[in-house]
Amino acid sequence: MTDYREHIVKSFDEEISNVIHLTTQMATLVEEQYKLLYHVVDTGSPSTTEDILENEPKLDNYDAEIRDAVITLITLRSPVAVDLRDILTSLRISTDLERLGDYAKNIAMRVASLEEIPETNIKNDILRLLNLVQVQLKKVIDAYVSKDIKKAEEVLKNDLEIDNNYNVIYEEIVDVIKGKVSKLRLLTYTKLLFAIKTLERAGDHIGNIAEEIHFIVTGEHIDLKPDSKENNLEDALEDSNK
């Protein structure tokens, strides 16, 4: 389904295409960041952590470039209807992508600073949670490129699986902390609590992108996600990610 059309001024089409292209490139780099993050969580590789940190400024540059391109388009072209939707949603999507990039960096840094190696079962559960986020991210990027609202709606519905896995791991880690643990182990598992909460929030931002895709195509806002969940890590997480 599409209601896109060529404009009388060809450069207008090219400028809109450029915004979409930049957003797609940014999304692809975010996807790469989460592949690197998986390797960091799995192996603790310092060099891979460095790769993530080196890519972070590139995401910031994409965000700034998309913002400038959108402002220029709105100022000079006064787009309307589907053009305006496409441009504005690209801007909102780039904001979510930038936050997703921040999350990957923050998790990598937390893992790099762990005082002890976590139990294998907990590490494997975190890897499964991270894999779910990766799958959702790939699907939402595909949905954006193809303007596929069915895929976008699948992403929104599948967010519940991320939430459920997060809750299971949260309880596992809390059970460990409730036992008699050393100060170093307590610090390790506290960092892991923040890491998994960040992954859960990454799922929320992917869901935001899915909602924007639905809006691009239909012009209608949609919210299939469950009500936001309260958690005692919420405020601290937001502060730590600023």
Domains of the chain in sequence order:
10-240 (1.20.58.220)
> Mind listing the pLDDT tens digit for each residue in 17-42?
899 999 999 999 999 999 999 999 99
In this prediction, the residues of the chain whose per-residue pLDDT falls under 50 are 1-5, 8, 228-237, 239-242
> Mind listing the pLDDT tens digit for each residue in 82-99?
778 888 899 999 999 999
The predicted pLDDT at position 10 comes to: 67
CB 209 within 8 A of CB 98: no
Tell me, letter by letter, the H, E, C secondary structure of 41-55: HHHCCHHHHHHHHHH
Averaged confidence pLDDT in the chain: 88
pTM of the model: 0.86
The predicted pLDDT at position 74 comes to: 87
Contacts of residue 29, Cβ cutoff 8 Å, sequence gap at least 6: 55, 58, 59, 62, 101
Q: Compute the radius of gyration of the chain from its Cα atoms.
A: 19
